[in-house]
Amino acid sequence: MPRVSILDCSTSFSPFAPFAFGIQDRHFQICYALIVERTIPKRKEPAMTPEERSTLIALYVAGFDEVVKALDGFPASSLSAHPIPGKWSAREIIHHLGDSESTSAFRLRKLLVEDNPVIEGYDQDQFAEKLHYNDRDMAPALEAFRAARVTTAQLFDVMKEEDWKRSGVHTESGPYSVEKWLTIYADHAHNHAAQIQRLKDAL
């Protein structure tokens, strides 16, 4: 959709507007994020120490290998199975990682390049269903996940201290800084690796 400016949005919106207008409307989500960012004071996030940052970066970098390790020994015939009711299959998890990690990589780039960017949320369950995660070869998704992690890790090596202080606003969660991004995604792959292991154990 076309880029939305604060000038395109009604200033009559309130913090309770999502309940009145429906949070699924994409134009509304962007307007809401822009208006909330400008009308509600930002809560200052605790400063991340260099040691904490290094720990999270190391966790992020190790994430792909953890997923590969969890997949080792997983029966190919069971990759689409749902041994745990209500949970994704291993194949769905890998497709989620391909899409989610590609999206997260782009989010970081927006934060680094644009001033106060709007970071759009999305419905991961709708992605899984409508993009047919469980019916597609997962090898390209695994490669997309790997490439997103490797190219993003390269950025960590060239980022300056001021880059870590940059921020934008998320359409669903509000203020969204580079450090918050790292906190969210550092263990994202590890969590899904553990999920794959639980599926394997449940077969």
The type of residue at 22 is G
Q: Which helix (H) or strand (E) holds 169?
A: strand 167-170
C-alpha to C-alpha distance for 192 and 189, rounded to whole angstroms: 5
Q: Is the pLDDT of residue 5 over 60?
A: no
Nearest-CA neighbor of 21 among 33, 6, 32?
32
111 touches 119 (CB < 8 A): yes
The pLDDT tens digits for 35-92 are: 555 555 555 667 799 999 999 999 999 999 999 999 999 999 999 999 999 999 999 9
The per-residue pLDDT for 44 is 60
16 φ/ψ sector (left φ>0, alpha ψ -120 to 50, else beta): alpha
The pLDDT tens digits for 140-192 are: 999 999 999 999 999 999 999 999 999 999 999 999 999 999 999 999 999 99
Domain ranges in the chain are: 1-41, 48-202
| Rounded to 5°, angle at Cα 59 from 53 and 65 | 155
Nearest-CA neighbor of 166 among 132, 116, 126?
116
Q: Is the pLDDT of residue 4 over 60?
A: no
144 touches 100 (CB < 8 A): no
pTM, whole model, 2 decimals?
0.80
CATH for the stretch 48-202: 1.20.120.450
**Three-class DSSP category at 132:** coil
